Structures are given as C-alpha cells and as structure tokens.
C-alpha cells in the first residue's frame, strides 16, 4: 500500500476517534444547561425636532417712520360641523420601532451540572463528552457527569440534623430530611477499581477504560478517577480532603483534560470558589464533589443498610469544577449483575433528571465491596450514554 494512502487512512481514523470522544459524556460531568440566547440591541437614532431659527434682529426703524396701523382681519365664515371621522387613530409607536432586539446564538458555556456539568466535561461515567475529553469516571468510576449545575447555586436547604444530607423515607418529600442526628458513615477500605466503558456519543459507538483509586489513612483521603481511550488520551478527576465522623469533607476537586479546572471548599465562609472564573456558590456541612459523592453514598449505606429500603431518597449538595447543585438519589430494588469481574448482588440507586437538559444516572452498589459502585450508567438528554462495568478490583 502506498505510504501516502496509509497516512490518509491514519488521519481518518484519528479524526473519527476525536469526533466520537468529543461527544462522550463523563459520568458526572453533567451536561451543562443549554446556553441561553444572548440579546444584542440595535438602536435607531431619532432625529431631533427641527428648531426654527431665531429671527435676526431687524435694524431699528428710523424714529421718524411710524409703523402703519394693522389692517382689520376679514371675518371668516364658520365651517359647518361634521361628524367625527371614523378612521382609526394612528397606532402608538412601539419600543421595537426604536430599538429592535436580535437574538444571537451564544456559544455553549462551561457550566450546567450545568451544565456540563457541565462543564462541561466529557462523560464517560463522569458526565460530559469530548474526544479529547475522553470520559472520566467520577466518584466510583462514573464517567459522565456538568455542568452543569448552576454556577451560583442557592444555599442548600437546612436539614434536621445539620449535616447537609437529607434522608427521606419512602413517600416523603425530597429535600426535607427526617433524621434527628448526623447519619453514621462507614467508609470502604482503600481499593482500586477498573472498569470497561461502552457507550454512544453523537451516534458513534465507542469503547474506553476507566479506573477509580480510593485511599485514606483515617484522617485524610484521596480519590482519583481516570478515563482513557485509544489514540485520544485521558481525563482525570481528583478529590482530596478530610475524613470526619460524618464522612468525607472535600477541600479541593480538580478536573483535568487538556487543562485543569478546580473547586476549592471554604467551610468557614460556607462558600466554594472556582478556578473556571465562575461565581462562587453556597455550600453547607456535608457537601460533596462529583467524585467524593460516590464514596460518601457507599459509607452511608454501609453504616445502616436496613435504613435504605426501596423508595428512600438521599439528597446532597454536589459540587463540580464550575458550580454546585442539590442531587437526589432514590433507592430502588436489589439486582444481581453479570459483570466482567463476575456475578455480584447489588442495590440500584437512580438520579432522575430535574430539568430538560439533566442527565439520568443509574448506580449499582455492591454490598460485598462496601457499597462501592460496580456499574454506572449515565444517559444524556440527547440519548448519548456511557456504561461502566467493573472489570477487576485490587489494592490501590
């Protein structure tokens, strides 16, 4: 085969891979809310009313010339009175006649969560999609996450226990927790989980690999998730912070593809700041990021599994690299999964979309593995999806 033909085929393969991964949703990037239209105004200048020029002063008349007396006006005949015309009065001038707004499509922004989230970030179980931004699993191998979430989310609603986590029994109203004490947490032991990723982005099927590494020493923790695809590269999310009696307390969340964006938690001020040049967001105790939320959910369920019967809802403030939002997970039924790593009993949790552009997230947590996710499926509003299935596990 001529060398030139070989180069052309290689370039085509690379281009197709790049286009596919541009649409890959990262598990918890979250598709950013669709950018709204930006309005520009066009003003029509109205000419100022003509002003009659002031009469130039006439030279003073000679003292001897007397002005002639005015002639008496001739009386005019009165015009006969006619009925008022029935023609419609002229329509008032509308503001649009003076300034007309022309919507201009805005380029998509980075938030949404978002997004994205997003945001937004590819979603290979973190939630967003981009060839160069190959999906990167978040929190437990989630790869499609976003953006978006609103960049300046309102302060989280207070909970009964002040922990920032609402646990609502079946039939209750989400966001109105009934617990009277901070829920206990039992964090899983350090571990490394490897996932096979299959999905669809922009009508292209793709395959990728994801890895979640979870470590802690009882005082501090680190969670790292990476998604990689052949000939495209990788995307990495990293969460670091403290281990407390209430579980994880993130201090920094980073999301790196070609460059890194990060969120920094300031609990004294009750705010989170972003390096992506987006507004600060309000947070409270118990807030998590899009990676630590997987570990926190595992710790909550492992501590008191009998409490989380089907229909129970958990609501947490969840922070991306560009914004914060309240996420509600609903406990569903138990399922036995046949995965590349083997057959495992699981408990399914689901996060349903709240807005038209939100993602649907399905998590399968394995009690035998400390309730860590062994399968994560993220489905975007446009039908794109990323499905992570556990391939193997081992020490970090």
Please tell me the distance from the alpha carbon of residue 102 to that of residue 55, in angstroms, as a whole number. 46
Buried/exposed code over 258-281 (b: 16+ C-beta within 10 A; e: otherwise): eeebbbbbeeeebebebebebebb
pLDDT score, position 354: 83
Instruction: Report the DSSP pairing between strands 313-319 and 288-289.
Output: parallel
Rounded to whole angstroms, the Cα distance separating 123 from 96 reads: 43
Q: What is the pLDDT of residue 327?
A: 92
Residue with tokens 């099927």, as numbered in its chain: 205
Q: What is residue 174's predicted lDDT score, i.e. its pLDDT? A: 67
Two structure tokens written together for 98: 């003076």
Phi, psi dihedral angles at 144 (to 5 degrees): -140, 95
| Closest listed residue to residue 194, CA positions, set 372, 10, 7, 382 | 372
Residue 199 and residue 134 in contact, taking contact as beta carbons nearer than 8 Å: no
Residue 378's nearest CA partner among 21, 164, 209, 137 is 137
Task: State how far the Cα of 148 lies from the Cα of 142, in Å rounded to an integer.
Answer: 15
Q: Are 272 and 264 in contact (CB under 8 A)?
A: yes
Distance CA 3, CA 178 (A): 70
Contact partners, residue 365, CB within 8 Å, separation at least 6: 297, 298, 301, 346, 347, 348, 349, 371, 372, 373, 374
Phi, psi of 330 (to 5 degrees): -110, 130
Residue 38 has what pLDDT? 39
Task: Please report, in tens digits, the pLDDT of each residue of the chain (396 residues total).
Answer: 577 777 777 776 666 555 555 444 454 554 444 434 434 444 445 555 555 555 444 444 444 444 455 555 555 555 454 444 444 444 444 433 333 333 333 333 334 444 434 433 344 444 433 333 333 333 333 333 333 333 333 443 434 333 478 999 998 776 555 544 678 999 999 999 999 999 998 888 999 999 999 999 999 999 999 999 887 789 999 999 999 999 999 999 999 988 999 999 999 999 999 998 899 999 998 999 999 999 999 999 999 999 999 999 999 999 999 999 999 999 999 999 999 999 999 999 999 888 888 889 999 999 999 999 999 999 998 999 999 999 999 999
Ranges of beta strands (E only) in 275-384 are 281-282, 288-289, 313-319, 324-339, 342-351, 360-366, 372-379
Other CB atoms within 10 A of residue 311 CB: 13
**Phi/psi class of residue 127: alpha, beta or left (left: φ > 0; alpha: ψ in -120 to 50)?**
left
């Amino acid at each position: 085969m001529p060398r030139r033909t070989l180069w052309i085929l290689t370039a085509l393969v690379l281009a197709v891979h790049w286009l596919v991964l541009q649409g890959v949703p990262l598990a918890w990037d979250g598709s950013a809310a669709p950018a709204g239209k930006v309005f520009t105004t066009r003003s029509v200048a109205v000419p100022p009313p003509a002003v009659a020029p002031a009469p130039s002063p006439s030279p003073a008349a000679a003292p001897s010339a007397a002005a002639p007396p005015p002639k008496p006006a001739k009386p005019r005949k009165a015009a006969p009175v006619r009925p008022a015309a029935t023609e419609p009065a002229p329509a008032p001038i509308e503001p649009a006649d003076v300034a007309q707004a022309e919507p201009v499509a805005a380029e998509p922004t980075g938030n949404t969560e978002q997004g994205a989230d997003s945001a937004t970030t590819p979603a290979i179980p973190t939630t967003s999609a981009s060839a160069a931004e190959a999906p990167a699993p978040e929190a437990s191998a989630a790869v499609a996450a976003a953006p978006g979430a609103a960049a300046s989310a309102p302060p989280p609603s207070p909970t009964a226990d002040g922990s920032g986590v609402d646990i609502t029994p079946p039939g209750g109203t989400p966001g109105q927790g009934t617990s009277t004490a901070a829920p206990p947490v039992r964090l899983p032991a350090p571990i490394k989980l490897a996932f096979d990723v299959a999905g669809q982005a922009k009508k292209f099927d793709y395959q990728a690999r994801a890895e979640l590494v979870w470590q802690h020493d009882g005082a501090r923790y680190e969670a790292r998730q990476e998604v990689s695809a052949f000939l495209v590269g990788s995307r990495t999310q990293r969460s670091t912070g403290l281990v407390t009696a209430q579980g994880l307390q993130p201090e920094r969340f980073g999301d790196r593809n070609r460059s890194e964006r990060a969120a920094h938690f300031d609990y004294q001020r009750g705010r989170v700041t972003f390096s992506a040049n987006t507004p600060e967001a309000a947070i409270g105790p118990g807030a998590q990021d899009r990676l630590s939320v997987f570990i926190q959910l595992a710790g909550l369920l492992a501590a008191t599994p009998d409490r989380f019967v089907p229909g129970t809802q958990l609501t947490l403030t969840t922070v991306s690299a560009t914004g914060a939002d309240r996420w509600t997970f609903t406990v569903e039924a138990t399922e036995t999964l046949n995965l590349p790593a083997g057959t495992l009993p699981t408990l399914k949790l689901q996060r349903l979309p709240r807005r038209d552009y939100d993602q649907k997230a399905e998590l399968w947590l394995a009690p035998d593995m400390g309730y860590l996710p062994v399968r994560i499926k993220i489905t975007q509003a446009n039908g794109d999806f990323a499905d992570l299935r556990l391939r193997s596990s081992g020490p970090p």
